[in-house]
């Protein structure tokens, strides 16, 4: 049995502006770095055997901040963990998309990464992890759209929102018969008041 802890990256300026990021390589802003530090502090006493991250800078920086708490843990980048490709909507807000393509823009062919391709690359990663890290605890730092779709593939009967919060932690136990989600979209580390 392998356990996977999914962590979404910290917040970016584009997140705050409501801009679609997709594969555009947008860095964390100052608050995003702070959020990653809070997530790292939260999980620092948990046992994680290996860390994998999307190579996109917002996820990679979040993973690097977490990895500082785990100096003896192996750290890998894997392009299969990248965010869903947003085609030509990347960099735009909802308002801009409606102005340009109309309210039914989601139904248009705008170069979005196909759902089956997203699931295929995600499950390819999961199957490899199950073989390489059998019985281990694997921390995966990735993106909201990708994590939410992969969760539905892993736990089809789960009741999940498409909205994964920045630095939210989700834990899934991979079993032979049925995968189990033990923690979903948890951001309690952001609720803790800091003493300055």
Cα–Cα distance, 70 to 44 (Å, whole number) = 7
The predicted pLDDT at position 193 comes to 66
Residue of 30, 46, 77, 83 with catalytic role: 83
Cα–Cα distance, 82 to 18 (Å, whole number) = 19
Please confirm, yes or no, whether 77 is among the known catalytic residues: no
Q: In what order do the strands lie in the sheet with 169-174?
A: 74-77, 50-53, 137-142, 2-8, 169-174, 180-186
- Is 11 annotated as belonging to a binding site? yes
- Is 9 annotated as belonging to a binding site? yes
Across the range 117-123, mean pLDDT stands at: 97
Instruction: Please state the φ and ψ torsions of residue 29, each to the nearest 5 degrees.
Output: -90, -175
Please confirm, yes or no, whether 83 is among the known catalytic residues: yes
Residue of 9, 37, 90, 143 with catalytic role: 9
The predicted pLDDT at position 158 comes to 86
Confidence of residue 192 (pLDDT cuts 50, 70, 90): low
- Is 101 annotated as belonging to a binding site? no
- pLDDT at residue 165 greater than cutoff 70: yes
Domain definitions of the chain by residue range = 2-86+113-190
Architecture of domain 2-86+113-190: 3-Layer(aba) Sandwich (3.40)
């Amino acid at each position: 049995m392998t356990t996977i802890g999914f962590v979404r990256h910290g917040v970016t300026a584009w997140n705050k502006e409501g801009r679609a990021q997709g594969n555009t390589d947008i860095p964390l802003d100052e608050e995003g770095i702070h959020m990653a530090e809070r997530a790292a502090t939260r999980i620092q006493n948990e046992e994680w055997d290996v860390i994998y991250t999307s190579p996109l800078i917002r996820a990679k920086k979040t993973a690097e901040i977490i990895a500082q708490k785990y100096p003896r843990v192996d750290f890998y980048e894997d392009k299969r963990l990248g965010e869903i490709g947003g085609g030509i909507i990347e960099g735009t807000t909802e308002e801009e998309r409606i102005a340009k393509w109309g309210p039914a823009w989601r139904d248009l062919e705008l170069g979005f990464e196909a759902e089956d391709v997203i699931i295929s690359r995600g499950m390819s990663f999961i199957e490899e992890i199950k073989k390489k890290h059998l019985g281990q605890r694997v921390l995966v730092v990735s993106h909201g759209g990708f994590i939410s779709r992969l969760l539905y593939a892993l736990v089809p009967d789960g009741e999940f929102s498409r909205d994964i919060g920045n630095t939210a932690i989700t834990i899934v136990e991979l079993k032979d018969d049925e995968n189990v989600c033990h923690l979903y979209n948890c951001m309690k580390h952001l609720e803790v008041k800091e003493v300055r």
